[in-house]
Structure 1
Amino acid sequence: MTLTLVRHTADLSPEQLAEARALLFTVFAGDDPMTDDDWEHCLGGLHVLVHDGPELVAHGAVVMRRLLHAGRALRCGYVEGVAVRAGRRRRGLGGVVMAELERVVRAAYDLGALGATDDGAPFYASRGWRPWPGTTSTLTTSGLVRTPGEDGWIYVFGGTMPLEALDLTGDLACGPRLGDAW
């Protein structure tokens, strides 16, 4: 039997956080491994934890970030750390995680965004997430710096603002953070 919990970082015990961190470091151990900065990006928002009995089998988080677009600072529910334990994939657990994260995005943020991987992109697209068709950048102390390597890999999802209200051919910029900008 599976149990799904939605909790803020502040409401998770040290043991629950350690278990979520361990899951992510196990799932993302290949060519693009999880880093301490990646884990840090998951903290400070809402986590979705799916357990099968006592075992944590899936995780995802949504944190608030400001994205800049067309002269506006948008409230973004940025999705981080979506992972399903090996051997438990293709059973709908990722869909359970994303359904909760999307519920939060639709109710609390102008839009949702995430950085997709090769493996994850088809899954997100099947759920209605769209690759940002415009350019991407990051805000640095020197101003906006293009992130062309992220173009086509940043996926967006309508929140309280429909995506059609945005100039989808324009630039989407994220604020600075440690590790990967996006």
Structure 2
Amino acid sequence: MTEVRTAHTADLDSATLKAARALLDDVFAPDMTDHDWEHALGGVHALVWEGGELIGHASLVQRRLLYGGRALRTGYVEGVGVRADRRGRGYGAALMEALERVVRGAYDLGALGASDEAADFYASRGWRRWQGPTFALTPGGVIRTADEDGGIYVFAPAVPMDLSGELTCDWRDGDVW
């Protein structure tokens, strides 16, 4: 039997967090970093369990994105992964459905950085590719993040947004987007 559960990081025991990190290490090997893991903590996790085994993970953390002179409360998706031998069975969609419900109820918008391989999946769920230039608000000021252009997606914005406008993310260590 497969079960999708959601819980805040504070409500997950160390064994579950360890299992989630191991799953993401496997899914994203060799590119998963400690910063990537840190980015996935401090928010709501969606977890897919099959029996007592964790086979899928995604999380939603709060960030601020600057758009049109406003700092928007953003549910930012991190750490989406399904075990390789369980892909193509709808588990990724179940994870995203759980997080999208939270975005709609608690945030001004959802956002994520998508790999080329995952872009069609997110687009099929109603996530819209940001077409404008991207930036990051760093300790040294606002910097352009041109390498991220075309890879940022937004979901269910509560405010009208011109997807060709400028979008700036808040600062964090590691990958800023």
- TM class by shorter-chain length? over 0.9
SS at structure 2 position matched to 1:24:
helix
2:103 to 102, 105, 109: 105
SS of aligned partner of 1:119: coil
Q: Which residue of 2 aligns with 1:89?
A: 87
| 1:146 counterpart = 2:141 | no
Q: Determine the structure 2 residue equivalent to 1:176.
A: 171
Aligned mates of 1:15, 1:168 — CA distance in 2:
41
Which runs of structure 2 are paired with 1:36-55 in the superposition (5 Å)? Answer: 36-55=34-53
Is residue 117 of structure 1 aligned with residue 111 of structure 2? no
For residues 120-144 of structure 1, give each alpha carbon's deviation from its aligned partner in whole angstroms, at most 9, with x where no partner exists.
1110011011110111000012221
Q: Where does residue 5 of structure 1 map in the other structure?
A: 5
Match of 1:26 in 2: 26
Is the CA contact 1:130–1:157 (under 8 Å) kept in the aligned structure 2?
yes
C-alpha distance in 2 between matches for 1:141 and 1:70: 21
Q: Distance in 2 between matches of 1:70 and 1:97?
A: 31
Q: What is the TM-score when the length of structure 1 is the normalising length? A: 0.95
Distance 1:86 1:140 in 2: 36
Structure 1 outlier segments of 4+, above 4 Å:
none
Give the Cα separation in 2 of the matches to 1:94 and 1:141. Answer: 35
Equivalent position amino acid for 1:169 in 2: S
Deviation of the 1:169 alpha carbon: 1.9
- Summarize the alignment of residues 122-137 of structure 1 with structure 2, pairs less than 5 Å apart: 122-137=120-135
Q: RMSD over aligned Cα, in angstroms? A: 0.9
Q: Which runs of 5+ in 2 are unaligned?
A: none
Q: Which runs of 5+ in 1 are unaligned?
A: none
TM-score of the two chains, using structure 2 as the length reference: 0.98
Superposed CA offset, 1:16-47 (max 9, x none) = 000000000000004xx110000000000000
State percent identity of aligned pairs: 60
Q: State whether residues 70 and 167 of structure 1, in contact with CA within 8 Å, keep that contact through their aligned partners in structure 2.
A: no
Q: Map Cα deviations across residues 65-93 of structure 1 (whole Å, 9 max, x no partner).
A: 00001110000000000000011000000
